[in-house]
Structure 1
Amino acid sequence: MKPAHWLFALVALNAAWATDLFVLGHGFEDLAAPGGLLTALGRLTGLYGAIALVLQLVLIARLPWLETRLGMDRLTAWHRWSGFWVLWLVLAHVVFITLGYAAADGSPVLSEIGTLVFDTDDVLKATVATILLIGVAVTSARRARRRLKYETWHFVHLYAYLAVLLGFLHQVTIGRDFVSSPVGRVYWWALYGSALGAVLLTRLGLPLLRNFRHRLRVVSVVRENPEVVTVWIGGRNLDKLPARAGQFFLWRFLNRWWEAHPYSLSAMPDGQYLRITVKALGDGSAWLQGIRPGTRVLIEGPYGAFTARRRTREHVLLVAGGVGVTPIRALLEEFAHARDDIVVVYRASTASDTVLTGELEQLARWCGARLHVVTGSSDAVGRYGPMMGPQHLAALVPDVQRRDVYVCGPPGMTDAVRRTLDRLGVPENQCHTERFAFAG
Structure 2
Amino acid sequence: MTTTAAPPAISLGLPRSVPRWWSDLAGVAAGATLLAVTALWVGDGGVQQVTAGGADAVTAGGRLTGLWASDLMLLQVLLMARIPLVERAFGQDRLARWHRWAGFTSFWLMVAHIVLVTVGYAGTDDRNPFAELWNLTWTYPGMLLAVAGTAALIMVVVTSVRAARRRLRYESWHLLHLYAYLGAGLALPHQLWTGADFLTSAWATAYWWTFYGLAAGAVIAYRIVLPAWRNWRHRLVVSHVVPEGPGLTSVYLRGERLGRLPVRAGQFFQWRFLDGPGWSRAHPYSLSATPHGEMLRITVKDLGDGSARVARLTPGTRALIEGPYGKLTAETYAGGPVTLLGCGIGVTPLLSLLGELPYRPGGATLIYRARSEAEVAFRRELEWFARQRGVRVIFLLGPRAGDSWLPVREAGLDLAQIVPDVARSQVYLCGPDAWTTAARTACRDAGVPADRVHTELFSW
| Superposed pair shares fold, TM > 0.5 | yes
Partner secondary structure for residue 46 of structure 2: coil
1:199 to 1:229, Cα distance in 2 relative to 1, 3 A: same
Alignment partner, residue 16 of structure 1: 35
1:390 to 1:303, Cα distance in 2 relative to 1, 3 A: farther
Alignment partner, residue 239 of structure 2: 219
Tell me the distance in 2 between the aligned counterparts of 1:183 and 1:381. 54
Alignment partner, residue 101 of structure 1: 121
| Deviation of 1:286 (Å) | 1.6
Alignment partner, residue 194 of structure 1: 214
Tell me the distance in 1 between the aligned counterparts of 2:294 and 2:27. 40
Is 1:395 the counterpart of 2:414? The answer is: no
Partner secondary structure for residue 221 of structure 1: strand
Q: Residues 236-256 of structure 1, C-alpha deviation per residue, up to 9 Å, x if partnerless?
A: 000000111100001111234
Is 1:253 the counterpart of 2:273? The answer is: yes
Partner secondary structure for residue 74 of structure 1: helix
1:338 to 1:257, Cα distance in 2 relative to 1, 3 A: farther
Partner secondary structure for residue 249 of structure 2: strand
Is 1:317 the counterpart of 2:339? The answer is: yes
By relative contact order (CA 8 Å, sep 6+), the higher-ranking structure is: 2
Which residue of 329, 333, 336 maps to 1:307?
329
Q: Residues 130-173 of structure 1, C-alpha deviation per residue, up to 9 Å, x if partnerless?
A: 22222212211222222211011101100001011011221111
Alignment partner, residue 299 of structure 2: 277
Is 1:89 the counterpart of 2:109? The answer is: yes
1:101 to 1:148, Cα distance in 2 relative to 1, 3 A: same
| Deviation of 1:20 (Å) | 2.2
Alignment partner, residue 135 of structure 1: 155
Q: Which runs of 4+ in 1 moved over 4 A?
A: 28-31, 384-390
Partner secondary structure for residue 212 of structure 2: helix
Which stretches in structure 2 are left out of the alignment for 5+ residues? 1-19
Partner secondary structure for residue 35 of structure 1: helix
Partner secondary structure for residue 293 of structure 1: coil
What's the TM-score once normalised by structure 2's chain length? 0.90
Which residue of 190, 197, 214 maps to 1:170?
190
Alignment partner, residue 294 of structure 1: 316
Say how many residue pairs are matched: 437
Alignment partner, residue 354 of structure 1: 376
Tell me the distance in 2 between the aligned counterparts of 1:187 and 1:127. 24
Q: Residues 313-343 of structure 1, C-alpha deviation per residue, up to 9 Å, x if partnerless?
A: 3210011101011101111122378646110
Which residue of 212, 220, 228 maps to 2:248?
228
Q: Contact between 1:313 and 1:402, CA under 8 Å: does it hold in 2?
A: no
Tell me the distance in 2 between the aligned counterparts of 1:138 and 1:105. 34
Which stretches in structure 1 are left out of the alignment for 5+ residues? none
Alignment partner, residue 37 of structure 1: 57
| Aligned-pair identity (%) | 44
Which residue of 444, 448, 459 maps to 1:422?
444
Partner secondary structure for residue 276 of structure 1: strand
Tell me the distance in 2 between the aligned counterparts of 1:300 and 1:395. 41
Partner secondary structure for residue 319 of structure 1: strand
Partner secondary structure for residue 262 of structure 2: coil
| Deviation of 1:354 (Å) | 2.1
Q: Contact between 1:381 and 1:387, CA under 8 Å: does it hold in 2?
A: no
Which residue of 285, 290, 304 maps to 1:268?
290
Tell me the distance in 2 between the aligned counterparts of 1:436 and 1:390. 26
Q: Contact between 2:399 and 2:408, CA under 8 Å: does it hold in 1?
A: no
1:389 to 1:415, Cα distance in 2 relative to 1, 3 A: farther
Partner secondary structure for residue 289 of structure 2: coil
Is 1:412 the counterpart of 2:434? The answer is: yes
What's the TM-score once normalised by structure 1's chain length? 0.94
AA matched with 1:420: A
